[in-house]
Amino acid sequence: MDFERLGEAYGYRRTLDHIEAQANAEIEKGNRAIHRLNCNVLALQAQRQALLDALREAAPGHPLLARTGRVYADGRRELAYEVPYVERFNREARGNGTVLIEEAMAPADRAEADYRAILAEPIADRGWFRQRWYWRGQEYATAGQARRAREEAAEAARDGALAA
């Protein structure tokens, strides 16, 4: 038996175990931070909803509660009070180089943005013995079929956004 190599392998294994333990500790620390931030986001959303409910009760029909006619990507309608908040936040975010808040768009503009986003999704071509094309996880026999499926989905998204 080669005890020298066994000892070397054992040493490498101990080192790898130590590195893995350190990495797992860092991952756990990161997960706790993400959980804490998610809890903060939920608390801020609850606070925002409570403020809106209080404003609705105090002043029903107040102009700040009027809908602007613009729509967010998730389908939620924009309220007038959100306009200055989003503008100021995005101005600060641009100055600091951080993430911007999504701005609401007119329904026609939102439909066009959804349409263009779907058309921008790539079609993957794979295969070694025979060529196959994939779009959104679905396999197609030809690239034309994949493009047509993508175009149909884009048209459906545009029609759905305009109908809403």
110 and 141 inside one domain: yes
User: What phi and psi values does residue 56 have, to the nearest 5 degrees?
Assistant: -65, -40
At 134-150, the pLDDT tens digits run 999 999 989 999 999 99
The span from the CA of 109 to the CA of 129, in Å, is 43
- Which residues, including other chains, have CB under 8 Å from residue 19's CB and lie 6 or more apart? none
Look up the domain containing 73 and give its range.
61-104
The structural domain count of the chain equals 3
Claim to verify: residue 6 and residue 38 sit in the same structural domain: yes
Structure confidence by residue, pLDDT tens digits, 95-123: 988 888 888 999 899 889 889 999 999 99
- 8 Å CB contact between 133 and 142: yes
Shared domain check, 117 and 67: no
pTM of the model: 0.57
Mark whether 68 and 115 lie in a shared domain.
no
Residues 50 and 25 in one domain: yes
Is 87 a residue whose pLDDT tops 70?
yes
Using pLDDT thresholds of 50, 70 and 90, give the confidence band for residue 164. Answer: low
Side-by-side strand order, sheet with 124-126: 124-126, 132-135, 138-140
pLDDT digits (tens, 9 = 90+) for 20-60: 999 999 999 999 999 999 998 889 888 888 887 888 788 88
143-163 and 107-119 helices, crossing angle to 10° = 170
- Mean pLDDT across the stretch 75-93? 87
Angle at 55 between CA 50 and CA 56, to 5 degrees: 95
